Amino acid sequence: MPAPQPSYAAAPPPPGAAPYAQGYPAPTATGYPTASPMQPYGQPPVPGHGPVGYPYRPPYDGFAIAGFALSLVGGTLLAIVFGIMGISRTRGGRARGRGLAIAALVIAPLWIVVAVVMFVVGLAGDGPGSSYAVGDCVQLDGDAGADVDEGVAPAMPSVPCAEPHDGEVYAAKDLPAGPYPGLDQVQQQGDAYCASEFEAFVGVPYDESRLELFYVYPQQVGWLTGDREIACVVTDVDAVTGTLRGAAR
């Protein structure tokens, strides 16, 4: 006959503790409930950001880019129009490129300034490097030599050789095209060229003549507009009527 098994009774809960239920919780309509809901991993997404937290960056505005590009190549009118449109379209951060649009409005008008300066230089009167021909008679002002030395165009208007005058162009040539060779180099070439051509026109070497020579030459501003001419002028202290060609004095 088997030995009797001991019986165990549930221990009473400690004083003040709520009694606990034994067994599994009753099933619900959707199955057994979980002990605690699952918590999501990580932080919730920040409003206005992408699904992985990268900030949104608007695209560049095409008008702002086009206006800036046109301003660099001289498309003044379109650059200004596109720049204004670019500023409007990038207001409030709707698109990037506002700085490009503003730069277009700054750069584009500079082409107008350059065009005006070149036009004024091209209309400059009889000054260094103006177009002269051998045999042209001119009237020099008293400060013509000082004006040229200081980089200022002297007053040297052409006059009929039959009228009293004090100068006559006896040689002229264009310097080779290319970058401006510099003021010192231009003056050296002018000195050598005008001295070498003096005797052929006047009839005696310059060192033996009572006449003086004067020449005009291109400066850097005029060089940019295509002026490369050196013009040599023979002068007399007294007014001359007629030509100094073959004067031999």
Max Cα–Cα distance, the chain, nearest Å: 167
User: Side chain identity at 12, as an amino acid letter?
Assistant: P
In this prediction, residue 211 has a pLDDT band, given cuts at 50, 70 and 90, of very high
Query: What does the alpha-carbon distance between residue 156 and residue 240 come to, in Å, rounded to a whole number?
Result: 15
Q: Is residue 3's pLDDT more than 80?
A: no
Residue 234 sits at φ, ψ, to 5 deg, of -95, 135
Domains of the chain: which residue ranges? 62-122, 137-240
Lowest mean pLDDT segment, chosen from 124-133, 137-146, 215-224: 124-133
Q: Is residue 85's pLDDT more than 60?
A: yes
DSSP letter for each residue of 126-194: S-TT----TT-EE---TTHHHHHHTT------EE-TTS-EEEEEEEEEEPPSSS---HHHHHHHHHHHH
Q: Which whole number is the average pLDDT over 104-115?
A: 89
pLDDT at 160: 92
Q: Which whole number is the average pLDDT over 113-122?
A: 74
pLDDT at 25: 58
**Contact partners, residue 72, CB within 8 Å, separation at least 6:** 107
- Contact indicator for 228, 172 with CB cutoff of 8 Å: no
pLDDT at 226: 85
Q: Please tell me which residue, 192 or 12, carries the higher pLDDT value.
A: 192
Q: Is the pTM of this model over 0.85?
A: no
Q: Is residue 216's pLDDT more than 80?
A: yes
